[in-house]
Chain A
Amino acid sequence: DAGITQSPRHKVTETGTPVTLRCHQTENHRYMYWYRQDPGHGLRLIHYSYGVKDTDKGEVSDGYSVSRSKTEDFLLTLESATSSQTSVYFCAISESGGLYNEQFFGPGTRLTVL
């Protein structure tokens, strides 16, 4: 398995509180991604990064922000969590972008917003 860890693995929080999820990789891959997985929706891309300090939006970016200050870390922040953000969040990494973008996934973080 690729060296990807996510923290925390489980979190319960209340509506309106800020939440930060961390993805850490030891593969030195340039590209990192945040997805959310919801029943009936598959995986949807939230944000991605194509290098340190280089990020862009995905399909469902509203309410989320990201930062990448080091190659190995990609943070996802929910500025003010809402119940609709209850989900399982997966981080992924890939060595190359473009068409040959083979992604490897982390173990996931289950977030519950009450």
Chain B
Amino acid sequence: AQSVSQHNHHVILSEAASLELGCNYSYGGTVNLFWYVQYPGQHLQLLLKYFSGDPLVKGIKGFEAEFIKSKFSFNLRKPSVQWSDTAEYFCAVNGEGNYGGSQGNLIFGKGTKLSVKP
């Protein structure tokens, strides 16, 4: 079965620090990859996605992620974080045949909480 690992449970940074959140998945077939963000008390919002093409994808609010197929990784980066980036970040993978069907349902990592100190 597919799985998604997010290595850091809680990351604490000061404003202007650089951010990298790790995401690794286990699946040998074709995958599409997503990063979602959940601000405190809110629903999940899509930050960025990778379907195909350039493995370096840019999302909203200055975030980017790099798909490295050989490492089964899709790490999220931001050069300089702001206090408003305080949130929980979820990596998700969509591969064929999840849950025994062909619907391509998402599997989420357990999330990484980011706290940015002003």
* Residues of A bordering B, CB below 8 Å: 31, 33, 40-45, 48, 50, 56-59, 90, 92, 97-108
Minimum Cβ distance to chain B for residue A52 (Å): 16
Can you report 6 residue pairs joining A to B where beta carbons are below 8 Å apart? A42-B90, A90-B44, A101-B94, A101-B103, A102-B49, A105-B43
**Could you count the A-B residue pairs with CB atoms below 8 Å apart for me: how many are there?**
67
Known: A57-B99, A90-B44, A100-B51. 20 other contacts (CB 8 A): A31-B103, A41-B110, A42-B110, A43-B44, A43-B108, A44-B108, A45-B106, A58-B99, A90-B43, A97-B102, A98-B96, A98-B104, A99-B32, A99-B96, A101-B32, A101-B94, A101-B105, A102-B46, A103-B46, A107-B43
Minimum Cβ distance to chain A for residue B73 (Å): 18
CA distance A103 to B109 in the complex (A): 15
A104-B46 CB under 8 A given contacts A42-B90, A50-B103: yes
A48-B43 CB under 8 A given contacts A42-B110, A43-B90, A102-B49: no
Across-interface contacts of A40 in B (CB, < 8 A): 110
Minimum Cβ distance to chain B for residue A18 (Å): 25
**B99 engages A102 (CB within 8 Å):** no
A105-B32 CB under 8 A given contacts A43-B108, A45-B106, A56-B103: no
Interface string of B14-55 (1 = CB under 8 A from A): 000000000000000011101010000011111001010000
**B111 engages A99 (CB within 8 Å):** no
Closest to B49 in A: A102
Across-interface contacts of B44 in A (CB, < 8 A): 43, 90, 92, 105
CA distance A98 to B110 in the complex (A): 22
**A98 engages B103 (CB within 8 Å):** yes
**A100 engages B111 (CB within 8 Å):** no
A48-B46 CB under 8 A given contacts A42-B111, A99-B30: no
Across-interface contacts of B94 in A (CB, < 8 A): 99, 101
Across-interface contacts of A106 in B (CB, < 8 A): 43
Closest to A106 in B: B43
Minimum Cβ distance to chain B for residue A2 (Å): 10
**Most chain-A CB neighbours within 10 Å: which of B51, B99, B103?**
B103
